[in-house]
């Protein structure tokens, strides 16, 4: 990251771009947002279980469809947070901060791609990667799609240079292997991009690239074995349940072009300009477009679709579009006989405007999962010495953080809309949605409320809990509903 006299990119340039990217990502990490329930129930809960031995268990873990490696990695910043401030939200915040910091590799890759062309390309590529909403919004979220993106996209970007040493190629292969472990669906996209690279170098780097990937797979196999499973048994179970048995279809199925609507919903009028710029940028760095397109095609063929599945592809496309922005500025200036610097500054302002208009879409996507009010209510419950039961009344199970945030070995009860009422003797702390207050006993006192369409209130009572078995206890509830 030192000064490069060939293109004029200085250490100060790097520090400004990476500093801006880090500030935005740390700010994003600080917000109480959950983009998808999986980041809580698949990964944070799994991380908590590796340390404490209990957690919320969803059907994926009961069916042996999840590997232990990613939750185990997340458990280390979580453990650090518990060691520093066990009664705070730090155990939840530190994994988010760790993900945010790791995501700087994406910004670094963008800057490196741009710097290979010129200082102007460095600035456009670096700034676009630093500020674009998808890259900032997903950065702190502990999702395997995001983890795979921050590994695979920089690794494939580095393959733009064809004369790497064997050691560097082994490192790139290791990163790609880990990305596959975290998101096996990326296998066709990673394999195709790697094959195209090897073809251009006449397979000269095959051994180190393959060796690094095999080493990553060995790490995954060792993690499975230490967890008491056969190596990659979870991957077979995942394929069998989701693809063969088509269990994922119960969470929604859509046609092959559904992702067009998904991306348009988020990017809106910016969709076509970004895709056009990405195609332009692919003239310099085709491997990133090959990777992005292959991943989109694979996921378009799968019935169950979610926006987060595209994050590796969208990340690659944004990097390409950022590099091409400087190319477009040059082309525009030459046609008009104007200064390229002026056109470039204008385009950067347009990128900032585009990113700002996408922010409300992310805010809207957050509100239906875990609210800031619910998160703080769980923190308050954790601080009660006499807590013996916590209930979520009037909301589905994905409306709470589970044990990863509560961090108390007491039963959590769920009463979703349409479910039978919970005996109020089972709990002494509850978050209650509007319309369900009558199900509580007179012993409960209302402590705080939040307004809006989804009004919630915290209710507490003194005294203990009955301890009786209940179908509303969260793990029993999930088992009986096959969730």
430 has which bridge partners? 391, 459
Average pLDDT, stretch 256-277?
A: 94
Average pLDDT, stretch 142-171?
A: 97
- Chain centre distance of CA 47: 15
The mean predicted confidence, pLDDT, of the chain is 92
- The structure tokens listed for 229 are 């499973």
- The structure tokens listed for 34 are 């959950």
448 has which bridge partners? 458
pLDDT tens-digit map of 22-61:
999 999 999 888 888 899 999 999 999 999 999 999 989 9
- pLDDT for 397 equals 76
pLDDT tens-digit map of 128-151:
999 999 999 999 999 999 999 999
Contacts of 481 (CB under 8 A, 6+ apart): none
Full-model pTM: 0.93
pLDDT tens-digit map of 433-453:
988 999 999 999 999 998 766
Angle of the 311-336 helix axis to the 271-281 helix axis, nearest 10: 80
Average pLDDT, stretch 175-185?
A: 97
Please count the CA atoms within 13 angstroms of the CA of 352 that sit on its side-chain side.
10
The CA distance from 318 to 278, in Å, is 7
Q: What are phi and psi of 297, to 5 degrees?
A: -60, -45
- pLDDT for 446 equals 94
Question: Predicted confidence band at 247 (pLDDT cuts at 50, 70, 90)?
Answer: confident
């Amino acid at each position: 990251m030192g000064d490069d006299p060939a293109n004029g990119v200085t250490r100060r340039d790097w520090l400004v771009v990476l500093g801006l990217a880090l500030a935005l990502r740390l700010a994003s990490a600080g917000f109480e947002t959950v983009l998808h329930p999986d980041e809580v129930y698949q990964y944070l809960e799994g991380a908590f279980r590796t340390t404490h031995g209990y957690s919320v268990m969803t059907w994926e873990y009961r069916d042996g469809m999840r590997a232990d490696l990613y939750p185990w990695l997340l458990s280390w910043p979580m453990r650090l947070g518990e060691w520093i401030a066990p009664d705070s939200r730090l155990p939840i915040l530190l994994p988010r901060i760790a993900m945010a910091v790791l995501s700087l590799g994406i910004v670094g890759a963008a800057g490196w791609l741009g710097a290979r062309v010129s200082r102007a390309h460095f600035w456009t590529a670096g700034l676009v990667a630093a500020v674009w909403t998808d890259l900032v919004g997903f950065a702190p979220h502990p999702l395997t799609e995001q983890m795979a993106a921050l590994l695979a996209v920089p690794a494939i970007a580095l393959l733009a240079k064809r004369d790497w040493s064997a050691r560097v190629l082994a490192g790139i292969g290791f990163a790609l292997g880990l990305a596959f472990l975290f998101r096996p669906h990326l296998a066709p996209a990673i394999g195709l991009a790697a094959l195209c690279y090897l073809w251009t170098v006449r397979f000269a780097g095959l051994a180190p690239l393959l060796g690094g990937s095999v080493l990553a797979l060995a790490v995954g196999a060792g993690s499975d074995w230490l967890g008491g499973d056969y190596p990659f048994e979870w991957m077979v179970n995942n394929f069998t349940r989701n693809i063969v048995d088509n269990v994922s279809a119960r969470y929604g199925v859509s046609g092959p072009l559904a992702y067009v609507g998904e991306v348009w919903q988020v990017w809106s009028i910016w969709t076509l300009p970004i895709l056009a710029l990405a195609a332009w940028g692919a003239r310099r760095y085709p491997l990133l477009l090959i990777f992005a397109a292959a991943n989109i095609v694979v996921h378009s063929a799968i019935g169950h679709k979610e926006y987060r599945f595209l994050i590796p592809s969208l990340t690659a496309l944004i990097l390409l579009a950022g590099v091409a922005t400087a190319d477009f500025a040059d082309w525009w200036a030459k046609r008009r006989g104007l200064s390229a610097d002026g056109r470039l500054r204008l385009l950067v302002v347009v990128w900032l405007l585009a990113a700002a208009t996408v922010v409300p879409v992310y805010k809207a996507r957050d509100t239906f999962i875990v609210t800031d009010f619910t998160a703080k209510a769980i923190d308050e419950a954790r601080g009660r010495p006499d807590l013996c039961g916590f209930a979520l009344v009037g909301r589905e199970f994905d409306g709470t953080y589970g044990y990863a945030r509560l961090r108390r070995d007491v039963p959590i009860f769920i009463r979703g809309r349409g479910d039978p009422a919970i005996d109020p003797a089972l709990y002494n702390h509850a978050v209650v949605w509007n319309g369900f207050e009558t199900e509580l006993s007179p012993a409960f006192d209302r402590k705080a409320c939040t307004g809006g369409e989804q009004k919630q209130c915290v209710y507490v009572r003194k005294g203990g809990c009955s301890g009786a078995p209940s179908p509303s206890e969260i793990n029993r509830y999930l088992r009986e509903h096959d969730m």
